[in-house]
Amino acid sequence: MVHTSRGHSAPRRVATLLALITATTLLASCASTPNSGEPAAGSGAPTVTLGSVLGVDAGGADNGKDLTWKLGAALPMSGPGAPQGTEMKQAIDLAIEQIKASGGPDISLSVKDIKNPDPVASKQAARELADEKVSAKITSYGDGLGAMLEDTAKDQILTLDGVGGAQPFAVGAPYFYGTTAVAPGDTLPGTLAWLKKAHPDAKTVGLVGWEMGPFNDAIKGDLADKVKSAGLEFNGLWETVSPATQDFSTVIAKVKANKPDVIIVGMGAQAPGALTAQFTAAGIDSTLIGIEYTDTAKDASKGTFESGAYNFAMNFFDATAPTNPLAKLFVDAYAAKYPTAPAPSFYAANAYEETIAFWQILRGTVKAGGDVTRGADLLKALEANPDLPSVYGGDTSTVGVTTIDLTTHGVASRPMGVYQYKDGKVHTLATFNIGGKDLVVNK
């Protein structure tokens, strides 16, 4: 999808994509490569590094080799979301090592805990990163469920969010860019089209999600409009709870009184599993469609995920089947660096590609003669080239590309779908792209 408002030429986009294609074909000749992406001692085997996958010359004048740069990160390092925050940090650390090994800059990481997230902790994280004068940060949950957006703009800290993305309340927010499909916003058109085929008797839709104060109004309006456009009815069920809670007893009675055919589960980390277990025990049999899946949610579901009680619509990252050379490098290197850790979820995958995106932005800033310690200069580099290398899409010889829409500050395209965990594995029910385009419903 091409957006003419992005402000950069078609030849530049084509050149970027061709560079990625040319570089990634090098992988076909690498018959034996170590999982870490580093050369095997004495092996003489071809070396697959991050730079070789991306087509970045290790000795290039613009690759940032002589730079020392601080990157901020606002992650859920405590509370129910801590496992996801941990894997995000691990993925960022891995990318930083790979960037340095490919002739890139020395990047130091400053991590701030936004809890699950918590608005107060998120605001504090924003202030602390500003005090440290970071020019860029990786963040999550729509910049701390919107709590950080004001400071992000005021302090001109270029921000990439691969967890919440550019939610309706963050569309066009200065210095804030979502690098993932927004759930449920971006996923709804395709999800509802699948729903009408897979569950033709379903007519009414409601939501149980996290409380975000006034930011909920934008999400509610967006959901109601998209449900109506799909020929279904938003029946008014809109129950929200604190992001810190795992107890849904207070909403069960309300859900039973206003029982929709479909409930959108607008929450992440462990919460979808706890909700599914409690709803199932209470006899609620509405079709549940969440906005994400994690192993911690599966564990909290008390076996209800295994029975197929929970569906989810998102850009799911399947670590067992990486789709392109960058994804494979990430999965192999992550397993080598963290051998006792669970396979990386989309939290880790998205944090990894965001770190790599910042390396591209740094190179663009250096090439343009800008100052990498100024968020405004980094932003110019992103605007000049919003085609970012991705672990999603692509093919066995071609790195995926995520293009940032410079008007919405979200993604212009992103592979996603509807999935279900059942009988020990994730099943793909349907696939589609932004706006429900290219819908394929699996039988």
DSSP bridge partners of 113: 75
Domain co-membership, 286 together with 423: yes
Domain co-membership, 194 together with 236: yes
Domain co-membership, 161 together with 21: yes
Within 8 A by CB and 6+ apart from 324, the residues are: 24, 390, 391, 392, 393, 394, 395, 396, 398, 399, 400
Task: Measure the CA dihedral 190/193/194/200, to 10°.
Answer: 160
E strands of 203-324, at which residues? 204-210, 233-241, 262-266, 287-290, 307-314
Domain co-membership, 328 together with 221: no
Domain co-membership, 261 together with 294: yes
**Residues 63 and 104 sit within 8 Å (Cβ to Cβ):** yes
pTM: 0.85
Q: What is the pLDDT along the chain (443 residues), one digit of tens a residue?
A: 333 333 444 444 434 444 444 444 433 333 333 344 444 333 333 478 999 999 998 888 888 888 999 999 999 999 888 999 999 999 999 999 999 999 999 999 999 999 978 899 999 999 999 999 999 999 988 888 889 999 999 999 999 999 989 998 999 999 999 999 998 999 999 999 999 999 999 999 999 999 988 888 989 999 999 999 999 999 999 999 998 899 999 999 999 998 899 999 999 989 999 999 999 999 999 999 999 999 999 999 999 999 999 999 999 999 999 999 999 999 999 999 999 999 999 999 999 999 999 999 999 999 999 999 999 999 999 999 999 999 999 999 999 999 999 999 999 999 999 999 998 999 999 999 999 999 999 97
Give the number of domains in the chain.
2
Q: Which domain holds residue 141?
A: 4-181+322-412
**Residues 6 and 415 sit within 8 Å (Cβ to Cβ):** no
User: What secondary structure letter does DSSP report for 280?
Assistant: H
Domain co-membership, 426 together with 407: no
Pairing of strands 307-314, 416-422: antiparallel
Q: Is the peptide bond before 184 cis (omega within 30 degrees of 0)?
A: yes
Give the CATH number of the domain where residue 287 resides. 3.40.50.2300
pLDDT at 1: 34
Domain co-membership, 214 together with 336: no
Domain co-membership, 25 together with 170: yes
Residue 46 CA to its chain's centroid (Å): 32
pLDDT at 289: 97
Domain co-membership, 36 together with 155: yes
Domain co-membership, 46 together with 149: yes
Domain co-membership, 192 together with 339: no
Could you give the 3-state DSSP secondary structure of residue 331? helix
Domain co-membership, 310 together with 214: yes
**Residues 402 and 392 sit within 8 Å (Cβ to Cβ):** yes
